[in-house]
C-alpha cells in the first residue's frame, strides 16, 4: 500500500476545503437539526451551503454508474452507522444523526463527520457520543511521525472496549487530499507496532464508528446505508489530520 506526501501549500488547500465543513457543522447545522426535519431537507441545506462557499459536495456520484451515491452528504440516523442515504425520514426528539460530508474546493478534498443529538437524548446515547468523540481525539494524539497505524488503531479500539462499546470493523478511515479516498486504509483497531509508519506531510481521515451493541453491520436495500445488525445505535466522528513538524494538525477543526 502506498500513500502520498503533501506540501505545506497543499495542506493549506486541504485545510480550506475542510474549513467549509467545519463552518457547516458549527454555524449552520445545529439550528437545523431539530425534531420534524427530514434528512432530505437537511441534505439540501448542506449541498446549498457547500456550493455557496465555492465548494462541491463530492459524495454525489461516488460508486460509479451502477450504484452512484445520490446525495452531497451521508446522514445516518440512530442504528445507521455510515453512508446513510438522505430520504423522507423525519427526525424525532431523542434521535442521533451522524453527518458525514466530503467537500472539494480548488482541486483539494476535505472530509469530516460529526454526530449530532436531536433535542434531548437518553444517557446511553450521550455516553455513546462522548466515547466515540473521545476515541477520535485519542486516535489523533497517535497521529505523529514515526508512529504506526497499528498504534493508532489499537489506541482507539482499547478506549472503546474499556467503555463497553464496540468498534465497527467493516469500514475505516483513509488518506485524503488529492482525492476523497486515498491510501492508506486507517483501521480503528490494530496491533501496536504494526502497520504503515506515519510520515511528515501525510494527511489522513481518522473516523471511528462505534456501536452501542455488537460491531456487526449490514447494508440496506438502497445499496448504501450501513446499519447495526442488532438495531442498537451507532455514532461516528471524523477529522482530516495532517502531520506537520512531526505532529498532528486537525484540518477540519474550526479555525476562526
Q: How far apart are CA 110 and CA 102, in angstroms?
A: 6
Q: Decide whether 62 or 121 has the Cβ nearer to Mg ion.
A: 62
Provide the greatest CA pair distance for the chain: 48
Q: Report the residue count for the chain.
A: 256
- Number of amino acids touching Mg ion (CB under 5 A): 2
- Mask: binding to Mg ion, 100-119, rule CB under 5 A, as x and -? -----------x--------
CB of 187 to Mg ion, least distance (A): 13
Binding of Mg ion by 58 (CB under 5 A): no
Cell of 204: 489522513
Q: Which residues in the 176-215 window bind Mg ion by CB under 5 A?
A: 205
Cell of 237: 466522528
Q: How far apart are CA 191 and CA 8, in angstroms?
A: 31
CB of 33 to Mg ion, least distance (A): 20
CB 201 within 8 A of CB 11: yes
Q: Decide whether 111 or 151 has the Cβ nearer to Mg ion.
A: 111
Residue 236: beta bridge partners? 209
CB of 122 to Mg ion, least distance (A): 28
Q: Decide whether 122 or 153 has the Cβ nearer to Mg ion.
A: 153
Spatial CB neighbours of 15, under 8 Å, sequence gap ≥ 6: 110, 242, 251, 255
CB of 111 to Mg ion, least distance (A): 4
Residues making contact with Mg ion (CB under 5 A) = 111, 205
Amino acid at each position: 500500500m502506498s500513500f502520498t506526501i503533501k506540501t505545506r501549500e497543499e495542506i493549506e488547500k486541504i485545510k480550506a476545503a475542510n474549513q467549509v465543513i467545519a463552518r457547516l457543522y458549527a454555524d449552520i447545522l445545529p439550528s437545523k437539526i431539530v425534531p420534524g426535519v427530514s434528512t432530505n431537507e437537511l441534505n439540501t441545506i448542506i449541498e446549498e451551503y457547500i456550493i455557496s462557499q465555492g465548494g462541491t459536495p463530492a459524495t454525489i456520484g461516488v460508486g460509479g454508474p451502477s450504484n452512484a451515491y445520490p446525495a452531497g452528504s451521508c446522514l445516518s440516523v440512530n442504528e445507521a452507522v455510515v453512508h446513510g442515504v438522505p430520504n423522507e425520514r423525519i427526525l424525532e426528539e431523542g434521535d442521533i444523526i451522524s453527518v458525514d460530508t466530503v467537500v472539494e474546493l480548488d482541486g483539494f478534498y476535505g472530509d469530516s463527520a460529526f454526530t449530532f443529538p436531536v433535542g434531548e437524548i437518553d444517557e446511553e446515547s450521550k455516553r455513546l457520543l462522548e466515547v466515540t468523540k473521545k476515541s477520535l481525539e485519542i486516535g489523533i494524539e497517535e497521529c505523529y511521525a514515526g508512529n504506526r497505524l497499528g498504534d493508532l488503531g489499537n489506541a482507539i479500539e482499547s478506549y472503546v472496549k474499556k467503555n463497553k462499546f464496540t468498534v465497527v470493523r467493516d469500514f475505516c478511515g483513509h488518506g485524503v487530499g488529492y482525492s476523497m479516498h486515498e491510501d492508506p486504509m486507517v483501521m480503528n483497531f490494530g496491533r501496536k507496532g504494526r502497520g504503515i509508519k506515519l510520515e511528515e506531510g501525510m494527511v489522513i481521515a481518522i473516523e471511528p464508528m462505534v456501536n452501542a451493541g455488537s460491531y456487526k453491520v449490514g447494508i440496506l436495500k438502497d445499496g448504501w446505508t450501513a446499519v447495526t445488525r442488532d438495531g442498537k445505535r451507532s455514532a461516528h466522528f471524523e477529522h482530516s489530520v495532517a502531520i506537520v513538524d512531526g505532529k498532528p494538525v486537525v484540518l477540519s477543526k474550526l479555525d476562526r
